[in-house]
Amino acid sequence: MTGLWIAVLATAAGCYALKLAGLTVPERVLDRRRVRRFAELVPVALLAALSAVEVATAGHSLVLDPARLAGLGAAVVALLLRAPFLAVIVVAAATTALLRATGIA
Amino acid sequence: MVQGAGRPVRDGLGLGLAVGVSGLAFGAAAAGSGLSAWQACALSALAFTGASQFALIGAVAVGGNLVAATAGAILLGSRNTLYGLRLAGLLRLRGMRRLLGAVGVIDETTAVALAQPDAGASRVAFAVTFGSLYLTWNICTLAGALGAGTLASPRALGLDVVGPAAFLALIWPRLRAGRTERVVAVAGAAIALGLTPVLPAGVPVILAATAALGGALITSPASPAAAGPVRAGQP
């Protein structure tokens, strides 16, 4: 039990330190153009990667789950139609939920 | 759409509440893997980063070595360092505010903050997303750990696509803005998917940052060398 508590608290401390480290980078480092460009592009790369992994993988396998793919596809359509942000996520979740509820996917 | 003052609040609340409900799944999974409700709540309150939390309890559930489990969970958190790097100049937090704000440096808050038209809206978006997600995530963790996780199935409600859809929606304006952004996004997704079968969970997403590195190195600077000394060989 104690070992588990140590693991929980060490994880919390480590995760917090990593978050703080990013915020604490000196401004003169961020003033360099390439560093600034890298910092700008990182969220684009990571969020796109996260989206892909959450939709198209299960464990270590690449999977084609029609319900999740259709949900993301519906989000893309909504975005192309310039739907507001909340409408996009509602459309995505509703599409996935509907496909699962009807047993289609 | 009007870029009014209500937008960062609405976007932040919407995403915070929708994603926070996944705390039910985390609480239930944590209880199932042998953590006490207190331990599950401590993780959500103090670590507050879903991927690392799920990684730790996943390793505990299969009886893995606790040191390795902890190291893996912390490694997953390194993504947030990169987000912090981007948010630092935008939020400009100092002292206690920085220490407190650091807790909120995660995928969702970064995404909503960066989707705003100006720094003021970004700060509001960060605070609102952080606040609503933090409260919902922690309350739902407790509820899930106490057994409510069996009542509601986030999967049946399609909540597992809320994250992916939200991330895509939030980087959408950037994808429209430039070709480099689109190439970086596609490359990042391809790298993560390609490495998923061969690397430990979470690591492929972190390595997607190399796409951003490539993008930063190949794009020619937008303005002449005003920010630094002129280097030989620069066009």
The count of other CB atoms within 10 Å of the CB of residue A5 is 14
**Nearest Cα residue to B105 out of B121, B75, B85, B124:** B85
Model confidence at A13, pLDDT cuts 50, 70, 90, reads very high
The C-alpha of B15 sits at a distance from chain A's nearest C-alpha, in angstroms, of 8
Rounded mean pLDDT of A72-100?
94
pLDDT for B162 equals 85
Determine, for residues B211 and A45 on separate chains, whether the beta-carbon distance falls below 8 Å.
Answer: yes
User: Which amino acid is located at B32 in the chain?
Assistant: G
Interface with chain A: mutation pick from B85, B87, B220, B234, highest number of A CBs within 10 Å? B85
Burial label for B188, CB within 10 Å (0-12, 13-18, 19+), is buried
Q: How many CA atoms are closer than 13 Å to the CA of A62, on its beta-carbon side? A: 12
Q: Residue ranges of the domains in chain A? A: 1-26, 64-105
Give the model confidence (pLDDT) of A16-61 as tens digits.
999 999 999 887 888 888 888 998 899 999 999 989 998 999 988 9
pLDDT for A63 equals 93
What does the alpha-carbon distance between residue A47 and residue B8 come to, in Å, rounded to a whole number? Answer: 19
Interface with chain B: mutation pick from A15, A69, A76, A95, highest number of B CBs within 10 Å? A15
Instruction: Collect all residues of chain B within an 8 Å Cβ-Cβ radius of residue A104.
Output: none
Reduce the DSSP state of residue B4 to 3 states and report it.
Answer: coil
Rounded mean pLDDT of A88-94?
93
| B41 in a structural domain | yes
**Nearest Cα residue to B51 out of B76, B26, B69:** B76
Instruction: Collect all residues of chain B within an 8 Å Cβ-Cβ radius of residue A10.
Output: 70, 74
Determine, for residues B77 and A19 on separate chains, whether the beta-carbon distance falls below 8 Å.
Answer: yes
ipTM reported for the complex, 2 dp: 0.89
| B189 in a structural domain | no
| B99 in a structural domain | yes
Q: What are phi and psi of A84, to 5 degrees?
A: -65, 160
**Nearest Cα residue to A47 out of B9, B107, B30, B140:** B107
| B72 in a structural domain | yes
* Exposure class string for B128-146: b at 16+ Cβ within 10 A, else e: bbbebbbebbbbbbbbbbe
- B93 to chain A: nearest residue by CA? A23
**Residue B220 per-residue DSSP state:** P
Cα separation values, A91 from B12, B91, B98, B158, B191, Å: 17, 31, 36, 10, 28
Instruction: Collect all residues of chain A within an 8 Å Cβ-Cβ radius of residue B46.
Output: 9, 12-13, 15-16
pLDDT for B174 equals 87
Q: What does the block give as tokens for B160? A: 């597992």
| B166 in a structural domain | no
Domain count, chain B: 1
Paired sense of beta strands A61-62 and A57-58, if any? antiparallel
Tens of pLDDT, residue by residue, chain B (235 residues): 444 567 889 989 999 998 898 888 889 888 888 899 999 999 999 999 988 998 898 888 877 788 888 988 898 888 899 999 999 989 999 999 999 999 999 999 999 999 999 999 999 999 999 999 999 999 999 998 998 656 557 788 888 888 899 889 989 988 998 899 999 999 999 999 999 999 988 888 889 999 999 999 987 555 333 333 333 333 3
Length of chain A: 105
The shares of helix, strand and coil residues in chain B, as percent rounded to the nearest 5, are 75, 0, 25
pLDDT for B214 equals 95
pLDDT for B226 equals 34
pLDDT for B234 equals 34
| B234 in a structural domain | no
pLDDT for B187 equals 98
Distance in Å from the first CA to the final CA of chain A: 41
Note whether A95 and B158 are within 8 A (CB): yes
What does the alpha-carbon distance between residue B157 and residue A100 come to, in Å, rounded to a whole number? Answer: 9
* Structural domain for B24, as ranges: 6-153
pTM (predicted TM-score): 0.80
The count of other CB atoms within 10 Å of the CB of residue B21 is 20
Q: What are phi and psi of A61, to 5 degrees?
A: -105, 145
